[in-house]
Structure 1
Amino acid sequence: MSHSEEDDCYIEEEENKYDNDKTTDGKVEAAVLSANNFLNQQFVNYEEAYECYVRYAKCVGFGVRKRDAAADSTGNYVRHKFVCNRAGVREKKCYATTSKIRKQKPETRTNCNAMLSIYLDKSCSMWKVRKIVEDHNHPLIPFKLVHQIPNHRTISDADKAQVDSMHRHGLPPSKIMGLNDGQAGGYEFAGFTKKDLDNYIERNLRSKIIEGDVNATLTYLHGKAEDEPMMIVRHSLTDDDKLEH
């Protein structure tokens, strides 16, 4: 997130009036919304409401989890609740374990009640806010560290392209992460962590291995079909050249 975007998160409330003209591609800009502003908003679908609440949470300093959802008699969702990532408490059985194989993770749940509840108004087919709770029972995360919260971490397309290029040239993940932190102006400004980078590289590697196995199998089967007149091999690909049938 750029410095100007950081400034947008701290606009004074009296300047924070929602203007229908101040949208991006029809979506509400969370950076110019206070919690009270959410009460007046409507969303095309619940995913849009979730994304908006996540952007608001990033500005304020907490993470978001999807929690309760309810459907009508036809199976369509009509209610959703998004909560603070520190909502709820750890189950008691987790404290009773005596296993020494795996060390318990630090306690992070504080039974925080901050949340956003939305419902589907069937009269207009729009999602509206039923209730929002703004108060947290724990310290909020400083803005320079908020990207460490899982659902605020992301590797942009530009970063992915750079990571792919450096990895092809043999740079280890630790070096790639160091270069990324340097370009971002420091670890606190990087949009992702070393673990996110490792996971991205591993997923790419698995994908290449799977695609290689598929190509080898197809080559083998088509070769067999040429030698066996009674054998027929056919396959189809998706729009992005993945094996479909």
Structure 2
Amino acid sequence: MAAGLSGGDGWNLPRGEEDGEVDWSAIIVMAIEEPIINIEEIDSDSFDSKEAAYDFYNEYGGRVGFSIRREYKNNSQKDGKVTSRNFVCCKEGKRSEDKRNRKIKNRRAETCTDCRARMLIAFNMEFGKYIVKDFKDTHDHPLISEDCAHMMPSQQKIKFVQAIDVELAADYGMPVRKAFELSSRQAGGRESIGFMKVDVQNYIWTRRQNDLELGDVNWLMNYFQTQCLEDPSLFYAVQLDSSAMITNIFWADSKMILDYGHFGDVLTFDTMYKLVYRNRPFAVFVDLNHHRETVVFGAAFMYDETTDSFGWLFNTFLNAMSHKALRMILTNQDAVMAKALVQVMLDTKHLLYTWHLMQNAQKHLGNLPVGGNGIKSVISKLMYEIEGKEEFLLE
């Protein structure tokens, strides 16, 4: 066999007599040609904490080209302090045999190779620090090139400064993809950013979960109180049930109230949005301004869609808008909502969405033999082509 061929990632790969023909069976254990860090320096190094040791070994793995993970640890029986901790290569160990089903055709690819690379630290009582007790730097698998090192699991970490940018982007409604691209450009490219797009998504989700530790309602109340300091004209109200539990929540900021004063003669009330994880209605009062741009006059989280809930919401909306009456309001075909509107907004004309009328006509009358293009063409003609009452009755 000819001499080994030095690979671009630092490995000596065995080569056959013919070009391009590699004898992979000859690959047993391969080591790095030039270690990044002197082994003697590592053996004599000490760390103030196990976290500092992890960061050190993780940085070493990133420069060499392998990902790390925490393995076992030993705790003191007296105070529970970690007395020793083992950090290993992510390919340490082997997958145990799955005895549940031996007839699986497409098994998952084996990722572990029982790699023996590791760094073992132990707490030294005399110095009060963690020292390296054992260090092995040989790997039995190819290493990752430097330009792909940021994709390794242990290297994917959002730094404090980057986290601030991600939070600001999320607060302003920027999509995860654009937030990741912005961070990539600031860092000089994806290979320099140190994390992946999925890490941004996970960070935002974790942050929101932490914000909601007090509970959804408590967090929302704290948010309203904070916003009142910045916007004294912010209006919000809550409805309580017989057990003093919050059921419905309505709010409108100063811009919403001002827009309603200018463009609030006609509006649309929509409850089609749902909170997916609770299936609760999210209601909005919206309309168009003089530039045909959508403007929001108020929003509400509702516990249910009953007459009492709608009645409270419509009354609260009028209170927030200084009881300025509406001329017309457009809603869907909901009998419960219509009943609440009649009770609260006596002088307001109640109109229905043409889209809902068309959908209901197709749902309930779609099988009628009306000829032509079906019931849809008939309803369209009645709504858009006929103007007078007499002509409508004749049709």
Bigger mean CA offset, 210-219 vs 132-141: 210-219
- 1:48 aligned to which of 46, 52, 59: 52
Maintained 8 Å contact 2:73/2:85: yes
SS of residue in 2 equivalent to 1:154 = coil
Q: Cα gap change, 1:93/1:40 in structure 2, threshold over 3 Å: closer, same or farther?
A: same
Matched, 1:61 2:65: yes
The TM-score normalised by the length of structure 1 is 0.66
Q: Cα gap change, 1:70/1:144 in structure 2, threshold over 3 Å: closer, same or farther?
A: same
Instruction: Decide which structure has the larger Cα Rg and report it.
Output: 2
Q: Distance in 1 between matches of 2:39 and 2:99?
A: 34
Q: CA deviation at 1:96?
A: 4.2
Q: Cα gap change, 1:80/1:214 in structure 2, threshold over 3 Å: closer, same or farther?
A: same
Matched, 1:145 2:148: yes
Higher relative contact order (CA 8 A, sep 6+): 1
The number of residues matched between the two structures is 191
The TM-score normalised by the length of structure 2 is 0.43
Map 1:202-213 to 2 at 5 A: 202-211=205-214, 212-213=216-217
- Deviation string, structure 1 residues 181-200 (Cα, Å, up to 9, x no partner): 23333322221101101111
Bigger mean CA offset, 168-177 vs 82-91: 168-177
Amino acid at match of 2:209: R
Q: Distance in 1 between matches of 2:185 and 2:103?
A: 43
Q: Cα gap change, 1:157/1:79 in structure 2, threshold over 3 Å: closer, same or farther?
A: closer
Q: CA deviation at 1:88?
A: 0.4
Aligned to 1:83: 88
**Contiguous gaps of at least 5 residues in structure 2:** 1-33, 226-238, 245-395
Q: Cα gap change, 1:151/1:123 in structure 2, threshold over 3 Å: closer, same or farther?
A: same
Q: Distance in 2 between matches of 1:73 and 1:134?
A: 31
- Deviation string, structure 1 residues 70-101 (Cα, Å, up to 9, x no partner): 2344244322211111100112118947689x
Q: CA RMSD in A?
A: 3.2
Q: Distance in 1 between matches of 2:99 and 2:169?
A: 42
Higher percent of residues as helix? 1
Higher percent of residues as strand? 2
Aligned to 1:114: 117
Q: Distance in 1 between matches of 2:148 and 2:114?
A: 22
Amino acid at match of 1:137: D
Percent of aligned pairs sharing the same letter = 26
Q: Distance in 1 between matches of 2:220 and 2:187?
A: 41
